[in-house]
Copies of this chain bind each other. A is one copy, B any other.
Amino acid sequence: MVPPFLEVTDLACRRGGRRVLDHLSFSVGTGELLALTGRNGSGKSTLLRTLALLVPADAGTIRWQGEDVVIDPDRWRSQVAWLGHLDGLKADLTVRENLHSSQPDRARVDAAVAAFDLSALATREVRTLSAGQRRRAALARVAASTAPVWLLDEPLNALDAAAQTLLHAAIARHLATGGVAIAATHADMPSARPLELGA
């Protein structure tokens, strides 16, 4: 049997002494989008951060293609593209400079800029963008990466309807190339498999 791409077993995590995740198990296969849902504070962001090894898990394993990710964390990190609650853009750099600093390949950056309709804004400093324009730039950074695993924390935040369509298209393209995506969200994400936390 081919292992599912990402397999999480019995994960537990505590933040500030409170148990946030406990005995959580799920798996995501290639070409699949997992939508994390649940109330505010149910642990969606915590789960994403734990998967990215930004927060250490208290128990449980995360397997990527059958191998525990803590064995070679650097290899795992290189497989992950991250979008947090915060955009992680440098306000003093332009959109293109921001994308370039994580993706040296100019062609991929150009494609991502186009995919999120940022061409007119590419040379603007991020400081001067509107909230949704900024979020699009952060999403373009994810799209520009070659990592097979996308971890997205509320990617639809601040996006207008057109940009949401662009995002769904970008995710669909990513999945079509065999990628995996996990997104925390309060909105509907079509064609996603939902996983409710804290239920």
Contacts and interface: CB of A to CB of B under 8 A. Distances in A.
Taking the full assembly, how many copies of this chain does it contain?
2
A190 interface: no
B41 A133 contact: yes
Interface residues of A, number: 26
A187 B45 CA distance: 22
Interface in A151-170: 153-154, 157-163
A131 B85 contact: yes
B133 A158 contact: no
A101 interface: no
Given A40-B132, A40-B163, 6 more contacts: A16-B128, A40-B158, A41-B130, A45-B130, A131-B154, A132-B186
Interface of A: 15-16, 38-41, 45, 85, 128-133, 136, 153-154, 157-163, 186-187
